[in-house]
Amino acid sequence: MKVLFVASECAPFAKTGGLGDVIGSLPAELAKLGADVRVMMPKYASIAHHFRERMELVSTCEARVGWRRQYCGLERLVHDGITYYFIDNEYYFKRPDLYGYYDEAERYAYFNHAALAALKLADFRADVLHGHDWQTGMIPLLLDAHWRHDPFYRDMRTVFTIHNLKYQGIFPRSILGDLLNLGDEYFHIDGVEYHGNVNFMKAALNYSDYLTTVSPTYAEEIQHPYYGEGMDGLLRKRRDRLRGILNGIDTARYNPADDPHLFVRYEGCDLERKRENKLGLQRMLGLPERGDVPLIGLVSRLVEQKGIDLIAHTIEDILRMDVQLVVVGTGEARYEDLFRNAAWRHPDKVSACITFDDGLARKVYAASDLYLMPSQFEPCGISQLLALRYGAAPIVRETGGLRDTVQPYNEYTGEGNGFSFFAYNAHDMLHTIGRAVHFYHDREHWRRICRNIEGSRYGWAESAGQYMEIYRLLSGGN
């Protein structure tokens, strides 16, 4: 089974969030099951020099972007046993950041064209092309429209994974011919048309052979208007070819037993060594060094999706409890200011680290007793899995992958690895935080919760098997 992942980011080369983590860890699990999985992504300027100097040029070609013919260099790097291909074009990708430019439509129209053109240079004929998020959404359509006549591409099948339906890649109608080399026969409700514009995500949803998303609950949610972002009708239409497969994490990369960033390394939910990590973090951040206080961690993009509004409405009530709150992340200015102001008013209770630092984030996971993640919606979520891996009990809203991975603690049966609430309501969240703090101080219940955390499953093995089922289905069982 030969599978090519095509994505706009991949750890450890370039990432902005969970997508990069998935592309950086899932191929290795699929390889364990016998698949030859390779990854193709842009060659961004931000990729570290020690990776760039190891890349070798495979070949060059041209990629058509409307009337333009653009240079395409294909470079290869084998890293940790996985082959990665990089699409080289400095005009589009030699920029400081991955995203956020005025010409995003052209950049990723180019990437979709170039990925298909360069594949023939790679000495790798994939059985399945597996695209991820809107930046690769046109590949299934372009494959059908421009490449099926070539025997090399004729039998390739396509899978597309929705990592976040909110971001769809919507651009003016003019790009259809000017950038995508497509005619008006594709500009209709069952094609790429969306309220008079061209929609990359919709192209993938209509033309891919199979669709997946990153948790079973999110697969159900997006078939309803509240979560469907205008695509719910189309997703209901394709429900027989839509499956929610839970994301995992790289348990070797995220392992408190050998993580060099921690103050003290430990295994499982070792309460004493977690306490030492908490004291070390408190010392580093200037908080009172108290092993008895429940430390609540929050490592997040500070944006509306992550439920920061709920915290804004109740932060004074939260801080009336005997807790400490450590925040790491960047985002909207109003939310950054919220936490800066809270830290200024409550320097003994709040540390606001308005930055993103992976080493600091790992220290927070290891030091936290509780981990707050009250998302408005969450396709899967990686942070709650990392919190569990480092022995912290998540406090989450029951949505998407949070519902699938965090089981609320039941004091009568002893089941549950965290705490949850259903309604998107600030006082429901506040009540749940209070409940978590109560059980933290009850040693018998807390030890039981910690044992349940140790038994949580957050690796890729089971999910990789489900992807393999889909690949075999599409390729006739090979």
Instruction: For residue 305, give the nearest of 375, 373, 214 by alpha carbon.
Output: 375
d(CA 63, CA 40): 15
Which CATH architecture describes the domain 271-454? 3-Layer(aba) Sandwich (3.40)
Name the 3-class secondary structure at 281: helix
Using omega within 30 degrees of 0 as the cis cutoff, is the peptide bond preceding 12 cis?
yes
Residues in the chain: 478
| Paired strand residues for 199 | 170
In order along its 478 residues, the chain shows pLDDT tens digits of: 999 999 999 999 999 888 999 999 999 999 999 999 999 999 999 999 999 999 999 999 999 998 889 999 999 999 999 999 999 999 999 999 999 999 999 999 999 999 999 999 998 999 999 999 999 999 999 999 999 999 999 999 999 999 999 999 999 999 999 999 999 999 999 999 999 999 999 999 999 999 999 999 999 999 999 999 999 999 999 999 999 999 999 998 899 999 999 999 999 888 999 999 999 999 999 999 999 999 999 999 999 999 999 999 999 999 999 999 999 999 999 999 999 999 999 999 999 999 989 999 999 999 999 999 999 999 999 999 999 999 999 999 999 999 999 999 999 999 999 999 999 999 999 999 999 999 999 999 999 999 999 999 888 999 999 999 999 999 876 5
Q: Is the pTM of this model over 0.75?
A: yes
Name the 3-class secondary structure at 319: helix
Superfamily of domain 2-248+461-474 in the CATH hierarchy: Glycogen Phosphorylase B; (3.40.50.2000)
Instruction: For residue 71, give the nearest of 118, 24, 29, 27 by alpha carbon.
Output: 118
d(CA 226, CA 461): 32
Intrachain domains 2-248+461-474 and 271-454 with the same fold: yes
Cβ atoms of 247 and 380 within 8 Å: the answer is yes
d(CA 298, CA 342): 14
d(CA 139, CA 64): 14
442: which residues sit within 8 A by CB, 6+ positions away?
none
Domain residue ranges of the chain, discontinuous segments joined by +: 2-248+461-474, 271-454
CA 216, distance to chain mean position in Å, is 15
Q: Would residue 474 be called left, alpha or beta, if left means φ above 0 and alpha means ψ between -120 and 50 degrees?
A: alpha
Task: State the sign of the Cα–Cα–Cα–Cα dihedral 235, 240, 244, 245.
Answer: negative
User: How many CB atoms are located within 10 Å of the residue 347 CB?
Assistant: 12
